[in-house]
A and B are shown apart, each in its own frame.
Chain A
Amino acid sequence: MVARVAGVFDEKLTEAIANSKILVVGAGGIGCEILKNLVLTGFPQIEIIDLDTIDVSNLNRQFLFHKEHVGKSKAQVAKDSALTFNPNVNIVAHHDSVISNDYGVSYFKQFNLVMNALDNRVARNHVNRMCLAANVPLIETGTAGYAGQVELIKKGLTQCYECQPKAPQKTFPGCTIRNTPSEPIHCIVWAKHLFNQLFGEEDPDQDVSPDTADPEAAGDAGASALSSEGTATGNVERKSTRQWAAETSYDPEKLFSKLFGDDIRYLLSMENLWKKRRPPTPLTWNNLPGKDEPQAQHSGLPDQRVWTVHECAQVFASSCNALQADLKSRADGDHLVWDKDEKSAMDFVTACANIRAHIFNIPQKSRFEIKSMAGNIIPAIATANAIVAGLAVLRAQAVLRGELASCGSVYLRPKVNHRGQLFVPEKTLTPPNPKCYVCAPKPEVGLACNLKQLTLKDLTTAFKDGLNMQAPDATVEGKGLVVLSSEPGETDHNNDKTLEEIGLNDGCALLVDDFLQNYEVRVRLQQEDEEKSWRLVTDSDAPMPGPKEDEKPANGSNGSEEPKPGPSRSRTRADSDSDMEIIEEDEDETTVKPPKRRRTEMSDEIVELC
């Protein structure tokens, strides 16, 4: 059954394949290709896991899926399709998240090899830790556009996925989003926040109304003067946007007048903001630019045409009505979740972003472009996925053969390098970073924060977002005092207390562990009066993750190099097969230095700090 014709592989490999059991994490672009290669080669036991369902935009590359499968489980359909290539192999499909208690260390231990075909950092970090804990080799893959990579991760032998801290990316201060946008992306982020304020999960960090606490506007007499008038126009400041919208029955005209008229006039009253900036222009519903203009000649996709402000207002009204109807049809307390593939949701964000852009003299964008930026889309093609998955399975064969030392990372380049190489292998394995806060024998990391301000709740966030734990437990080193418990309710009463209030001080160390990941790290607390939130500190020079960072895609093709906001807060997966490392080689042919590496990745979340 294995390698169905004897003699294709030497006996050693034939035997190793026959006795192997492989886990494939992800059934997207690369996952489909990996599964095909494994099944054809005759790997007898395979498990595949993916929590996603099939979307029509997957069909240009995820070739195990066809139109009639849209909406179905990726893992299940991938299994069914792959079995038609070779009915003799055994495939188990899980329509599930890999981050679950059902897939603990003992689950991972049953495999000879794990192959990652994921599209987001959270799951990659998690599988990395599971494989370290289970001591199972992991082949990590990724593509973005024409580029891609394959990397072997093996405890003690190679660096792990988290050995090199990911570079923090540009973030947008809340006041830029709320008061002084200067780029299209600022308006898009604002529009997505507005969606959540009106129809989605309300989040106080996603306020869309003018921010009076803007330090730049400090001492602004005009603002206070106008805020007293605020009540007349619907209490600009005090009432939540959602509440106000509900009271007006989501009347599009009234919403428009508040968001793009009153709020803008309020901003204008914060005169300090406009001393050096071009002030925004409030709009009135009945007098919008583009109303009587004949439609300009357009070639290209309908979505690639930039709407006039008047059209935006019309789309604003119709999408508002549709979204409100959707919200109304749901049970009390339920809310909508923004989705780029949901027509009204995408229309709403396009319209609002462009109206706001017009107000602030920022270039308007087409629905097509805004979808890329708002939906965090990394372009994906069949060929790059096929190449990376092919290389990954060849690497898997070498790992099974016991040739781990020859399995250096391989990079698929978008164009050949100066040596004519399209696939660039690293000659040696990159050893583990001894200071890695994940795979070092005694992991350790510093947490810089203001102990007088950081609450226990914030600390949980730091462990989850910064250290990528799922359910952290923390005790004070040497005292055994439980600071945080993953048991629901056990330490919740302390949530709003500051670290100082519960007796933690500068230099204090916490032992933090995640039971599922079988991962424990020693966290040193460092008092920093200036730190408004928290920041991880290691001995290396590399910048470390801070709160809710936003990351850039690996290649901003189609001209968009701006950071792309993902759905904030919720850890929604980005839409791609991406998350990759790009090699930057020294163009000087005489140097023998190893290539510089840069991990560039894409975002799961957008961040705002003010």
Chain B
Amino acid sequence: MVENNEVELSEAEAEQYDRQIRLWGLESQKRLRASKVLIIGLSGLGAEIAKNIILSGVKSVCLLDSEKLKEIDLYSQFLAPPDKVGENKAEASLQRARALNPMVDVTSETKAVDDLPDEFFTTFDIVCATGLKQEQLERINNACRDSNKKFLCGDVWGMYGYMFADLVDHEYSEEIVQHKAVKRGPDDTEKNARETVSITVKRRAIYVPLQNALSADWSKPELRSRLRRGDPSYFVLKILFRFRDEYNRNPDPAKRKADTEILLKMRDELVKELNLPVGFVSDALLTDVFGIVAGAAAVVGGVIGQEVVKAVSQREPPHNNMFFFNPVKCVGFVELYGQ
């Protein structure tokens, strides 16, 4: 849980954060200001998440990436300048990330996640991981979970994207607005005089780790019935994780044709394995998963950024536990897996 240190906001903070304080309140802003965030993976999605979180006014953001900036990053990664291709992605992003909000302490880390001990991850209040393999995500998730630290992960492939959240045992407050008719006096002739009363309720949400969510048992009838909703986004994620595990990379725009074939074959295997209806995971979703499309990174990065704000400010119900963006239908939805 992020502590709310009782130091009041400075005038400069109040001024800069005015429009959001009017939305989520001063208490949330104070909690944000006390929170330390780690962002793993400085692709286009990582840059979007970093931008949103730095703008919100957290205490500190650490950008972690061990890879070098490539040409392909440039059409979604706006924090790294084009002339820094070949340099470390996290370091190349530092200057612009800091300029977004000088009140936030932004640092970089260039070690690979596999070379960092568990204790590294648990020095942060919340970890947002992108671009990793499933087992790497599970390891960090479990390390966070053991220290009661919050974990989010997400990715964008082409126009498709997802987010997963494990906020462990999360307490939050939710404002519920009620309308009631009021009379202001015996002479009140305004029939529709209304007053809104907002009450704040405390709630609690229990989360499961990533491995539970990704190993959901589709033979169970309660999950089976979800197929009727007809959205294959969960399975697309499974296929893309398999691709990443097997080939140690993402589908490559330069190999668009060959990789599409591999993806479709992986799809067929998964459909068989889970006994899914034929044609359920249509080709359409698997043909636009190359590179990172800027618009999709903005969409998924916006959702993840907002979930970080909700998680650390402990205000408003956070998503539990998977969000998918299906670009074919332009729908974004939340489903609970693994519970």
Contacts of A416 on B, CB cut-off 8 Å? 319, 333-334
Q: Report Cα–Cα, A85/B81, bound state, in Å.
A: 6
Assess whether B78 is interfacial by the CB under 8 Å rule. yes
Check A60–B305 contact: CB distance below 8 A: no
Which of the residues B23, B82, B333 comes within 8 Å of A379, measured between beta carbons? B23
Encoded as 1 (CB less than 8 Å from any B CB) or 0, chain A from 364 to 397 comes to 0000000010000101111111110111111101
Q: Report Cα–Cα, A6/B159, bound state, in Å.
A: 15
Interface residues of B toward A: which range? 35 or more
Assess whether A472 is interfacial by the CB under 8 Å rule. no
Which of the residues A56, A386, A423 comes within 8 Å of B298, measured between beta carbons? A386
Given A278-B185, A383-B52, A386-B305, verify A33-B330 contact (CB < 8 Å): no
| Interface window among A36-44, A106-114, A439-447 | A36-44
Assess whether A215 is interfacial by the CB under 8 Å rule. no
Which of the residues B26, B82, B184, B295 comes within 8 Å of A391, measured between beta carbons? B295
Residues of chain B from 68 to 91 with CB closer than 8 A to chain A in the complex: 71-72, 74-76, 78, 81-82
Which of the residues A7, A277, A382, A395 comes within 8 Å of B291, measured between beta carbons? A7
Given A5-B291, A66-B99, A382-B305, verify A387-B299 contact (CB < 8 Å): yes
Assess whether B169 is interfacial by the CB under 8 Å rule. no
Encoded as 1 (CB less than 8 Å from any B CB) or 0, chain A from 45 to 87 comes to 0000000000011011101001100000000000000001111
Q: Report Cα–Cα, A382/B55, bound state, in Å.
A: 7
Which of the residues B18, B81, B184, B295 comes within 8 Å of A37, measured between beta carbons? B295
Shortest distance in angstroms between B277's beta carbon and chain A's nearest beta carbon?
A: 20
Shortest distance in angstroms between B339's beta carbon and chain A's nearest beta carbon?
A: 14
Encoded as 1 (CB less than 8 Å from any B CB) or 0, chain A from 577 to 599 comes to 00000000000000000000000
Assess whether A558 is interfacial by the CB under 8 Å rule. yes
Assess whether B34 is interfacial by the CB under 8 Å rule. no
Contacts of A8 on B, CB cut-off 8 Å? 75, 158, 253, 290-291, 293
Check B14–A182 contact: CB distance below 8 A: no
Assess whether B325 is interfacial by the CB under 8 Å rule. yes
Q: Report Cα–Cα, A10/B260, bound state, in Å.
A: 12
Check A56–B15 contact: CB distance below 8 A: yes
Which of the residues B22, B185, B323 comes within 8 Å of A182, measured between beta carbons? B185
Query: Taking CB as reference atom, which chain A residue is nearest B57?
Result: A60
Check B331–A394 contact: CB distance below 8 A: no
Q: Report Cα–Cα, A57/B18, bound state, in Å.
A: 6
Q: Report Cα–Cα, A195/B62, bound state, in Å.
A: 48
Which of the residues A9, A304, A391, A419 comes within 8 Å of B299, measured between beta carbons? A391
Shortest distance in angstroms between B7's beta carbon and chain A's nearest beta carbon?
A: 11
Query: Taking CB as reference atom, which chain A residue is nearest B325?
Result: A423
Q: Report Cα–Cα, A146/B76, bound state, in Å.
A: 24
Given A5-B72, A387-B303, verify A60-B23 contact (CB < 8 Å): no
Assess whether B20 is interfacial by the CB under 8 Å rule. yes
Interface residues of A toward B: which range? 35 or more
Q: Report Cα–Cα, A42/B101, bound state, in Å.
A: 27
Assess whether B294 is interfacial by the CB under 8 Å rule. yes
Check A394–B330 contact: CB distance below 8 A: yes
Check A63–B333 contact: CB distance below 8 A: no
Query: Taking CB as reference atom, which chain B residue is nearest A275?
Result: B187
Query: Taking CB as reference atom, which chain B residue is nearest A303?
Result: B14
Check B298–A393 contact: CB distance below 8 A: yes
Q: Report Cα–Cα, A492/B184, bound state, in Å.
A: 46
Assess whether B9 is interfacial by the CB under 8 Å rule. yes
Check B72–A37 contact: CB distance below 8 A: no
Contacts of B74 on A, CB cut-off 8 Å? 4, 40, 85-86
Check A40–B299 contact: CB distance below 8 A: no
Contacts of A394 on B, CB cut-off 8 Å? 159, 293, 295-296, 299, 327, 330
Contacts of B72 on A, CB cut-off 8 Å? 4-5
Assess whether A422 is interfacial by the CB under 8 Å rule. yes
Assess whether B212 is interfacial by the CB under 8 Å rule. no
Given A67-B102, A394-B296, verify A5-B26 contact (CB < 8 Å): no
Given A8-B290, A33-B298, A372-B22, verify A85-B253 contact (CB < 8 Å): no
Assess whether B136 is interfacial by the CB under 8 Å rule. no
Assess whether A420 is interfacial by the CB under 8 Å rule. yes
Check B75–A41 contact: CB distance below 8 A: yes
Check B23–A381 contact: CB distance below 8 A: yes
Q: Report Cα–Cα, A346/B300, bound state, in Å.
A: 39
Q: Report Cα–Cα, A427/B253, bound state, in Å.
A: 30
Contacts of A372 on B, CB cut-off 8 Å? 22
Contacts of B325 on A, CB cut-off 8 Å? 423
Given A57-B15, A61-B19, verify A41-B295 contact (CB < 8 Å): yes
Shortest distance in angstroms between A13's beta carbon and chain B's nearest beta carbon?
A: 9
Which of the residues A381, A425, A556 comes within 8 Å of B330, measured between beta carbons? A425
Check A423–B330 contact: CB distance below 8 A: yes
Shortest distance in angstroms between B186's beta carbon and chain A's nearest beta carbon?
A: 6
Check B75–A410 contact: CB distance below 8 A: no
Assess whether B306 is interfacial by the CB under 8 Å rule. yes
Greatest chain B CB density within 10 A among A66, A145, A301 is at A301
Which of the residues B302, B327, B333 comes within 8 Å of A383, measured between beta carbons? B302
Interface CB pairs A-B, < 8 A, 21: A4-B74, A9-B288, A40-B294, A56-B15, A146-B316, A276-B185, A380-B19, A381-B23, A383-B306, A384-B306, A386-B52, A390-B295, A390-B300, A390-B302, A392-B295, A393-B295, A394-B293, A420-B335, A421-B334, A422-B323, A559-B198
Task: In the A-B complex, list the 7 residue pairs whose CB atoms are closest, starting with the nearest.
Answer: A390-B298, A7-B253, A423-B332, A379-B23, A390-B299, A386-B302, A387-B302
